[in-house]
Homo-oligomer: A and B are copies of this chain.
Amino acid sequence: MAEPHTIPRIEDQAEDTLALTPDLVRDVLEAGDAETVRARLAPLHAADVADLLERITPDQRAIILDAIRGVLNPDILAELDETVRGKVVEQMAPQELARVVAGLDDDDAAEVVADLDEKTRRDILARLPQPDRAAVEQALGYDEHTVGRLMQRATVVVPAYWTVGETIDYLRADASLPDAFFDIFVVDPRHRPVGSLPLSRILRNRRPVGLAEIMDGEPVVLPVGMDQEEAAFLFRQQDLISAPVVDEAGCLAGVLTIDDVVDVMDEEHEDDILKLGGVSEDDLYHAAATTTAKRFPWLLINLGTAILAAVVIAQFAATIESLVALAVLMPIVASMGGNAGTQTLTVAVRALTTKELSTTNAMRIVVKEMLVGGFSGMLFAVIAAVLTFAWFENWLLGAVIAVAMIVNLLVAGLSGVAIPLVLDRMRIDPAIASSVVLTTVTDVVGFFAFLGLATVVLL
């Protein structure tokens, strides 16, 4: 029973995961014998145990895995981060891994098996009982990131001529149905979905009512080859809980449920954030050398763009030599352009992801962002000019920085929305490539406008 005193427990622990307090982690690690470790882990949700395994050192992980060898809850493996799962799988004997995979839902099993190396994969597949093996092999037949890979093959389907009563009797009688389901799909004789019924509607109608009378006709159907992000978009847009997946012939092949969609949303958002920051994948659990190697290409590209900016500066070496204040002030112009452009870029990339920015309104947003750039440029032109005059007592230098600021912020506003739009049209992911192109533009334009103007006006 949930006594009221259990409630504050949930609120207290904002600093760590809700169930996984630092105390509990210490408790488990200091348990000593395998018996105690198992007892302490038993009341935890699989996702919490997975979190714990992710957060501790490899040595600690080995101790805990030893303790729960043979009794590992399969769901823990499904909940683990890919990198950590790879390491955990390495420490498991093939027969144990096969037992765990067999204990997973077919979509989770496919995910775990997909990450194994070729040899282990064949070994594990050979050890799986026949229906599980067929399901996993079928799932692996679809591309990664498609609905086919993600769906649950076991579904609850009924014909349209059944009544509510017949449906309930069938659900009570057939023990092979999936554990949890949220909608029942109505199919025609060729197994094509023709309607869907939320369970609440079955429960609220009387036994003699025919399904055809109460079902939602023309249900949203997802083709097996649909990209998972498109499916996630549909789920959000239409507040779906589950949706039927159909094969090339339009026949029901499985069901996609909201819990998988939530995971896709999480992945998608992680991807967007990391790519904008110049990181190709979540590398929290990688070794330092691996992380260095993975992040290297991005930094190398950035070095290239920084050199390009340096080349621009080098053209004005004589100007800088005669007025060293230019070297002091030039990073300000470049940096303000980079920051203003990044603001625009962030909004634009996000709007492309949520499909709020499209061909219908692209032109309007470009014009708006150039206006924003122009307004900001004028504001910061005044501020920079005043500060420059106060510092160097040179009003011409103040005028130069003012004009360069307006030019660079205008260009930043335009580039901030145009670059992601163009990349998107060229089918290059705007999240990963936009920011490097943008800062190149704002650096080059910033240095060129400022130093070029200075050369003309001040020398």
Contacts and interface: CB of A to CB of B under 8 A. Distances in A.
A372 B291 contact: yes
Contacts of A347: 274, 277, 279, 282-284
Contacts of A272: 269, 273
Given A2-B221, A262-B265, A360 B278 contact: no
Contacts of A172: 203-206
A443 interface: yes
B238 A45 contact: yes
B18 A230 contact: yes
B279 A182 contact: no
A14 interface: yes
A98 interface: no
Interface stretch (A33-41, A89-97, A113-121, A307-315): A307-315
Interface residues of A, number: 151
A241 interface: yes
Contacts of A343: 277-279, 295, 298-299
A125 interface: no
Copies of this subunit:
2
Given A265-B265, A328-B313, A376 B276 contact: no
Contact of A331 (B57, B263, B357, B443): B443
A324 to B, nearest CB: 5
11 contacts: A1-B188, A2-B192, A8-B223, A16-B355, A18-B230, A55-B356, A270-B354, A276-B346, A279-B343, A292-B379, A306-B335
A375 B270 contact: no
Given A2-B250, A199-B199, A307-B387, 15 more contacts: A4-B192, A17-B237, A48-B237, A235-B262, A241-B241, A270-B354, A274-B347, A282-B347, A295-B372, A303-B383, A306-B336, A309-B331, A310-B328, A310-B331, A335-B439
B199 A200 contact: yes
Contacts of A67: none
A314 B356 CA distance: 45
Interface in A242-300: 246, 249-250, 258-259, 261-263, 265-266, 269-270, 272-274, 276-279, 282-284, 287-289, 291-292, 295-296, 298-300
A350 interface: yes
B359 A22 contact: yes
A185 to B, nearest CB: 11
A25 interface: yes
B276 A273 contact: yes
A69 interface: no
* 5 tightest A-B CB contacts, nearest first: A277-B346, A4-B250, A288-B371, A327-B327, A199-B199
A228 to B, nearest CB: 13
A329 interface: yes
